[in-house]
A and B are shown apart, each in its own frame.
Chain A
Amino acid sequence: MSKAFDQSITKALENPNLGGILDRWNYPATRAKAYEGVDFEALRGEISAIKGEAAGHLPELADQFQKSAEARGAKVFRASSPQAVLDYILGICQSKGVKKVAKSKSMASEEIHLNKFLAEHGIQADETDLGEWIVQLAHQTPSHMVMPALHLTKEEVAEIFSQEVKRPLSPEIQGLVKVARKELREKFFEADLGVTGANIAIAETGTLVIMTNEGNARLVTTLPKIHVAIVGIEKLVPRFADAAPILRALPKSATSQLITSYVSMITGPVPNDDGTMKDLHIILMDNQRTAMAADPEFKQALQCIRCASCLNVCPVYRLVGGHVFGHIYTGGIGTILTAWFNELKTTEDIQGLCIGCGKCNEVCPGKIDIAGLILELRRRLAKKEGLSFIQKSALQIINNRKVFHAMLRAASIAQKPFAKDGFIRHLPMFLSNLAEHRSLPAIAPKPFRDLFPEIRQPKGGGKVAFYAGCAIDFVSPKVGVAVVKVLNQAGLEVIFPQEQSCCGIPHWASGANEMAALAAAHNLGPLLAEDVEYVVTACATCATALKKEWPHLLQQQGMGGLVPKAEAVAAKTVMFTELVAKLIQEGRLTPKDGMELQSVTYHDSCHAKRHVGIYKEPRAALSAAGFDLREMNESDTCCGMGGSYTVKQPELSMGMLKRKLDNAEQTGAQYLCAECPGCLIQLGGGLDKRGSQLQAKHPAELLEDRFKDPGDTEG
């Protein structure tokens, strides 16, 4: 990671405005209101089908659009590179004597740095979207795709405007907006040429659809005699009717509105106010989009409708804003677009900002697997640029079970002098230099694998295999013991295959998919050795590997032969609370009578909620066992753990943790519960540092004394 990049993160975190603004907006609530009564899944299904179809036929649609628009009198120019777009616009300006240009918001024009280019040729281009104008006057770049000046306070805007109008202005928003109206009004009238983007370009009819709230696009396309629209070809859709679902979703997702104040649909030139015809130029810009469409993984990124909701919900973006992304497109999708529109290498630093929590995927109206694509970028970067030596050796060690486990055992001894109340400042051995900024838990003196043989197992009531994962095995073995105890209370015999080792998620999350596949392959034999009813895991991260990722990984890494085995494991794997809820329902587990009511707030780990879809079951199990559930605000927002993220991006991780703990503490509950040892390390470490009354617990710990023993139930 470069030092400059590190510093930009620190700077962003220190800017109080960046952290607060999106929180005050409360986007999730306003978005939900806008989507009230709308079947979002169906709507995004429609959009992704339309845009997915379009992405598969870009050249044909561009041809069709060109034909339709030209038939109506527009001039269509097809540009493959940014330079071709710039040259074309300059050509128009020079041949028509254009001196002044008025622009409405266009990310495509930002992508090609149009303003700078025109200025170099003596042509003044003024942004007329309020946010874009502010950013332009401040000589900055937009920090958000929909709200470009989100990072600035009203005081800063007042300062910027004061310089422009050369008189002091007070930081009063309504007044500042009126100043902008007055200043910009003249620019619309003076402009010889208007530049717009388009939200949708309809091939069938040659129509451009442009949405704004301010009304500037209407003026830009009405007052100047020349209109140039710069349209990325991913905006193409086949049919006129295809505009409807996009028009429905975009404003709801972007600004929580049912529709923007203005929508213009322009099909060919219309007369100007002096009776001449509008000189309408439509530039269809490729700039890597067809290359993207040809990539089977990244083709889906063309389904983006640029609503920026993935930014609004991203826990990282919400902490640091857009400028740390360093390029025009920001946030998760911005990272992906930058990798293509610029080049892969430019995302070496910024891809590391993503913690992989998947929040973005949930809200994306284009139904894009944003988190997955960033991971894919990481994989390609790791392949192309190589992992750092430390990272690589660490991951290789984890894959060597005997060495890894021996090291963990050694660590538990070596750390002893430093342990304090179960927490230490530094994790020893190879992780130590990565763990400076937070207290991590001690490695347990005796791993679960050594404790397990001491637990006598019931026979004849069904058999399950327990997959502990490294964290339960070596850090929180008592969670493993509790898991076994609860399962035994249901009469189940638990077996623990000693050959099991790391699930491979650390490798996968680092883009080292080949090592992740090796980890998967190593575990299949041990887990399938005995005929069991279930494979139980009490770790959401491991569950993601076992239930979901192993078959893909093996397939992708040329180990297709093992896929049936991986699928067999996936079919049997359940999360601990998933199984407990089921056992309660089946009457195989019976809560004890007269239990003391205790209160708990539940944190949904990203892996559990969004990767394997387990979030109802733990709540059901805890309620049935007599816990009073107190939901916290944003229970499914990432706690900032994300494996090595915590050590690579400590400041961001801590920022996320703080929000999570604030939300959890506000519930007044006694326990903060999560079925993910990783989350619990993060949450417990944070609570410990704040000296909180709240205790972080695994559901197994809360449940271990809550059920009758098999003997009792019969009585």
Chain B
Amino acid sequence: MYELFKTRAEAAGGLVHRFPTGAEALEFLLKSLEVEGTPAVWAGGSFLEGCAEQLLGAPIPGLALSVTRENAKGARVGITQMDWGIADTGTLVQDASGVEQRLASTLPWTHIALLPTRNLVPDLATLLTKVDPARSRYLTFITGPSRTADIERVLAIGVHGPERVIVICIDDLEGGRP
């Protein structure tokens, strides 16, 4: 399922990486931040809470752990943790009822999405059986970067949302609401 997810997400213009442990994923994440640039914002989630201590021990310059509309607007990178992935479309799914999740995943140029590998589901119909709209009031589905073909049917990336979407699948990450 992971392979299909990766193929489809990359076909939609995303980048997908996978790590067995949170520690390796964090290392990659921090390296990506160097490449992508700061400022960056990170909207909360179980992964952040799990490694918060380590981060706070050595604060990363330019990385804000609380998200506002202003700092998200100025950020190069937004980091959020997703709840599910849909393999056959390469889609990330998140309960984005918390506004900071949407600000961080929409306003910056690059979106880094953390995903528990175990929360991949085969298709949309399966996903719909797992979510409860009464509880998850704002469900967000993201597949690749923001795009348009509104001028002469030519594809352009990064209209209102991110130009780049980097997905980091973490095998030992719990969380989400599978």
Which residues A171-210 have CB closer than 8 A to chain B? 173-174, 176-178, 180-181, 184-185, 188-189, 202, 205, 207
- Number of residue pairs A-B, CB distance < 8 angstroms: 166
Q: How far is the CA of A147 from the CA of B103 in the complex (A)?
A: 27
Which of A147, A244, A273 is B150 in contact with, Cβ under 8 Å?
A: A147
Flag the segment in B26-34, B47-55, B122-130 that touches A: B122-130
B97 at the A interface (CB under 8 A): yes
Q: How far is the CA of A128 from the CA of B146 in the complex (A)?
A: 13
Q: Say yes or no: A214-B159 contact (C-beta < 8 A), given A205-B134, A259-B143.
A: yes
Asked if residues B138 and A265 are in contact (CB atoms below 8 Å), the reply is: yes
Q: Say yes or no: A154-B99 contact (C-beta < 8 A), given A72-B137, A263-B141, A264-B141.
A: no
Q: How far is the CA of A533 from the CA of B68 in the complex (A)?
A: 80
Give the distance to chain B from A295, nearest Cβ to Cβ, in Å: 33
Q: How far is the CA of A241 from the CA of B137 in the complex (A)?
A: 16
Q: Say yes or no: A273-B103 contact (C-beta < 8 A), given A218-B140, A261-B147.
A: yes
A389 at the B interface (CB under 8 A): no
Q: Which residue of A lies closest to B161 (CB)?
A: A215
Q: How far is the CA of A502 from the CA of B87 in the complex (A)?
A: 57
B63 at the A interface (CB under 8 A): no
Which residues A139-192 have CB closer than 8 A to chain B? 147-150, 152-154, 157, 173-174, 176-178, 180-181, 184-185, 188-189
Which of A129, A185, A267 is B137 in contact with, Cβ under 8 Å?
A: A267
Binary contact readout B145-162 vs A (1 if CB under 8 angstroms, 0 otherwise)? 111111111101011111
Give the distance to chain A from B141, nearest Cβ to Cβ, in Å: 4
B133 at the A interface (CB under 8 A): yes
Asked if residues B133 and A207 are in contact (CB atoms below 8 Å), the reply is: yes
**Chain B neighbourhood of A268, CB < 8 A:** 137
Asked if residues B150 and A130 are in contact (CB atoms below 8 Å), the reply is: yes
**Chain A neighbourhood of B156, CB < 8 A:** 173-174, 177
Q: Say yes or no: A215-B137 contact (C-beta < 8 A), given A173-B151, A273-B103.
A: no
Asked if residues A258 and B150 are in contact (CB atoms below 8 Å), the reply is: no
Asked if residues B143 and A260 are in contact (CB atoms below 8 Å), the reply is: yes
Which residues B68-86 have CB closer than 8 A to chain A? 68-69, 73
Which of A72, A214, A258 is B148 in contact with, Cβ under 8 Å?
A: A214
**Chain B neighbourhood of A262, CB < 8 A:** 140-143, 146, 161
A98 at the B interface (CB under 8 A): no
Q: Say yes or no: A240-B128 contact (C-beta < 8 A), given A219-B160, A261-B143, A261-B145.
A: yes
Which of A214, A218, A244 is B128 in contact with, Cβ under 8 Å?
A: A244
A123 at the B interface (CB under 8 A): no
Binary contact readout A244-283 vs B (1 if CB under 8 angstroms, 0 otherwise)? 1001100000010111111111111111110000000000
Give the distance to chain A from B169, nearest Cβ to Cβ, in Å: 19
Asked if residues A270 and B138 are in contact (CB atoms below 8 Å), the reply is: yes
Q: Which residue of B lies closest to A260 (CB)?
A: B143
Q: Which residue of A lies closest to B102 (CB)?
A: A222
**Chain A neighbourhood of B139, CB < 8 A:** 264-267
**Chain B neighbourhood of A259, CB < 8 A:** 12, 89, 91, 124, 141, 143
Q: How far is the CA of A153 from the CA of B151 in the complex (A)?
A: 7
B116 at the A interface (CB under 8 A): no
**Chain B neighbourhood of A221, CB < 8 A:** 138
Q: Say yes or no: A180-B159 contact (C-beta < 8 A), given A129-B150, A131-B150, A218-B102.
A: yes
**Chain A neighbourhood of B151, CB < 8 A:** 130-131, 134, 149, 152, 154, 157, 173, 176-177
**Chain A neighbourhood of B152, CB < 8 A:** 21, 153-154, 173
B8 at the A interface (CB under 8 A): yes
Q: Which residue of A lies closest to B86 (CB)?
A: A259
Q: Which residue of B lies closest to A184 (CB)?
A: B160
Binary contact readout B106-131 vs A (1 if CB under 8 angstroms, 0 otherwise)? 11000000000000000011001100
Asked if residues B160 and A185 are in contact (CB atoms below 8 Å), the reply is: yes
A213 at the B interface (CB under 8 A): yes
Asked if residues A266 and B137 are in contact (CB atoms below 8 Å), the reply is: yes
Which of A147, A157, A181, A240 is B160 in contact with, Cβ under 8 Å?
A: A181
**Chain A neighbourhood of B133, CB < 8 A:** 202, 205, 207, 240, 265, 267
Q: Say yes or no: A214-B137 contact (C-beta < 8 A), given A176-B151, A270-B97.
A: no
Asked if residues B161 and A218 are in contact (CB atoms below 8 Å), the reply is: yes
Q: How far is the CA of A22 from the CA of B59 in the complex (A)?
A: 52
Binary contact readout A347-363 vs B (1 if CB under 8 angstroms, 0 otherwise)? 00000000000000000
* Range class of the B interface residue count: 35 or more
Asked if residues A149 and B150 are in contact (CB atoms below 8 Å), the reply is: yes
Q: How far is the CA of A130 from the CA of B159 in the complex (A)?
A: 8
Asked if residues A241 and B125 are in contact (CB atoms below 8 Å), the reply is: yes
B128, B139, B141, B148: which has the most chain A beta carbons within 10 Å? B148
Asked if residues A147 and B149 are in contact (CB atoms below 8 Å), the reply is: yes
Which residues A219-248 have CB closer than 8 A to chain B? 219, 221-223, 240-241, 243-244, 247-248
Q: How far is the CA of A129 from the CA of B149 in the complex (A)?
A: 11
Asked if residues B137 and A270 are in contact (CB atoms below 8 Å), the reply is: yes
Asked if residues A173 and B128 are in contact (CB atoms below 8 Å), the reply is: no
A590 at the B interface (CB under 8 A): no
**Chain A neighbourhood of B103, CB < 8 A:** 222, 273
Q: Which residue of B lies closest to A71 (CB)?
A: B134
**Chain A neighbourhood of B150, CB < 8 A:** 129-131, 134, 147-149
Give the distance to chain A from B86, nearest Cβ to Cβ, in Å: 8
Give the distance to chain A from B6, nearest Cβ to Cβ, in Å: 14
Q: How far is the CA of A262 from the CA of B160 in the complex (A)?
A: 11
**Chain A neighbourhood of B99, CB < 8 A:** 222, 270-273
Q: Say yes or no: A261-B161 contact (C-beta < 8 A), given A214-B148, A244-B125.
A: yes
Q: How far is the CA of A269 from the CA of B138 in the complex (A)?
A: 8
**Chain A neighbourhood of B90, CB < 8 A:** 258
Q: How far is the CA of A514 from the CA of B161 in the complex (A)?
A: 57
**Chain A neighbourhood of B143, CB < 8 A:** 258-262
Q: How far is the CA of A267 from the CA of B145 in the complex (A)?
A: 24
**Chain B neighbourhood of A207, CB < 8 A:** 133
Q: How far is the CA of A440 from the CA of B135 in the complex (A)?
A: 68
**Chain B neighbourhood of A177, CB < 8 A:** 148, 151, 156, 158-159
Q: Which residue of B lies closest to A214 (CB)?
A: B159
Asked if residues A255 and B160 are in contact (CB atoms below 8 Å), the reply is: no
Q: Which residue of A lies closest to B13 (CB)?
A: A261
Asked if residues A264 and B148 are in contact (CB atoms below 8 Å), the reply is: no
**Chain B neighbourhood of A180, CB < 8 A:** 159
Q: Say yes or no: A147-B91 contact (C-beta < 8 A), given A218-B161, A259-B143.
A: no
Asked if residues B125 and A261 are in contact (CB atoms below 8 Å), the reply is: no
Asked if residues A214 and B124 are in contact (CB atoms below 8 Å), the reply is: no
Q: Say yes or no: A214-B134 contact (C-beta < 8 A), given A147-B153, A223-B69, A259-B89.
A: no
**Chain B neighbourhood of A24, CB < 8 A:** 153
Q: How far is the CA of A270 from the CA of B147 in the complex (A)?
A: 26
Q: Which residue of B lies closest to A259 (CB)?
A: B89
Q: Which residue of A lies closest to B67 (CB)?
A: A273
Q: Which residue of A lies closest to B129 (CB)?
A: A241
Q: Which residue of B lies closest to A20 (CB)?
A: B152
Give the distance to chain B from A599, nearest Cβ to Cβ, in Å: 35
Give the distance to chain B from A337, nearest Cβ to Cβ, in Å: 22
Q: How far is the CA of A147 from the CA of B153 in the complex (A)?
A: 8
Give the distance to chain B from A215, nearest Cβ to Cβ, in Å: 3
Q: Which residue of A lies closest to B90 (CB)?
A: A258
**Chain A neighbourhood of B153, CB < 8 A:** 21, 24-25, 147, 150
Q: How far is the CA of A207 from the CA of B125 in the complex (A)?
A: 16
9 additional A-B residue pairs with CB within 8 Å, beyond A130-B151, A178-B158, A264-B141: A153-B152, A154-B151, A180-B159, A213-B146, A215-B162, A216-B160, A218-B106, A262-B141, A262-B143
Q: Give 22 A-B contacts (CB < 8 Å), ordered by A residue.
A: A25-B153, A129-B150, A149-B151, A154-B152, A157-B151, A177-B151, A181-B160, A213-B146, A213-B159, A214-B159, A215-B160, A218-B161, A222-B99, A247-B124, A258-B90, A262-B140, A266-B137, A270-B137, A270-B138, A271-B97, A271-B99, A272-B99
* For the complex of A and B, 10 pairs with smallest distance between CB atoms: A215-B161, A131-B150, A263-B141, A265-B139, A214-B159, A267-B133, A177-B156, A130-B150, A215-B146, A215-B160
